[in-house]
Homo-oligomer: A and B are copies of this chain.
Amino acid sequence: MIRALLVDDHQLFGEGVRSMFNPNDGIEIVKITTNGNNVPAILSEIEVDMILMDISMPLIDGVGVLELMKKNGLDVPVLMLTMHQDMKYIRRTLETGAQGYILKDASKSELTEAIEKVSRRENYFHPKINNQIFDYLRGNKNPSEGNLVDQLSDREKEIIGCIGKGMNSKAIAEALFISEHTVKTHRRNIMHKLGVKNTAELISFSMEKGII
């Protein structure tokens, strides 16, 4: 019997997955938490063979929980649960070292297979995200290609956020304690990186990609 901890902020999804497995599946969700910050505490109390973890959560995201676990020296294999919208994070999470990735629209049999593999510390990647993995590996060899969004620095994303709020370059400069010139340079670099012509396209692109 594989004992699994489920970390997901969607109660409905969590309880659904739990009741999906019956004893003869060889898998049991022994605990569900909606707050990733509780993971270290839970792991010190109960023993699990693997963790099923949602990537996008409000309080702390899946990557954050992974980092938290690393910091506390907790070594439990993790299967990340992602939605299509999270695809953009996959590269980030690959570096943090999850054991596998599966899409939330996978079937029960796929999930079962994934849980089994991950609990044995084998890697599992859902077929649909293979392209992302491939892009990532290729991107490492040739960073000039690949994901536009990941080319943005944190500062640049911060600037985009300000622009989206309707702030002009001067207001952004004052808010971030930098010169207006610097803000304009950032804007230019951002637009160049994302391949957009103007502010309107920048914002609509950024919102579509989930940068803001």
Contact = CB atoms under 8 A, between A and B. Distances in A.
Interface of A: 9-13, 15-20, 22, 34, 58, 81, 83-85, 103-108, 111, 163-168, 196-204, 207-208, 212
Given A199-B200, A204-B212, A13 B11 contact: no
A84 B54 CA distance: 15
A83 B8 CA distance: 13
Given A20-B19, A200-B164, A200-B166, A13 B104 contact: yes
Which residue among A15, A105, A200 has the maximum number of chain B CB atoms within 10 Å of its CB? A200
Contacts of A208: 207
B19 A201 contact: no
Contacts of A166: 196-198, 200-201, 204
23 contacts: A10-B83, A11-B106, A11-B107, A12-B17, A12-B104, A12-B107, A13-B104, A15-B16, A16-B16, A16-B18, A16-B19, A16-B20, A19-B19, A34-B105, A58-B84, A163-B200, A165-B200, A166-B196, A166-B197, A166-B198, A166-B200, A167-B200, A168-B197
Contacts of A198: 166, 168, 199
A9 B163 CA distance: 34
Contact of A15 (B107, B165, B201): B107
Contact of A16 (B17, B85, B200): B17
Contacts of A203: 164, 199-200, 203-204, 207
A184 to B, nearest CB: 14
A5 to B, nearest CB: 16
Contacts of A81: 12
A164 B208 CA distance: 11
A60 to B, nearest CB: 15
Contacts of A58: 84
A106 to B, nearest CB: 5
Contact of A12 (B11, B106, B167, B207): B106
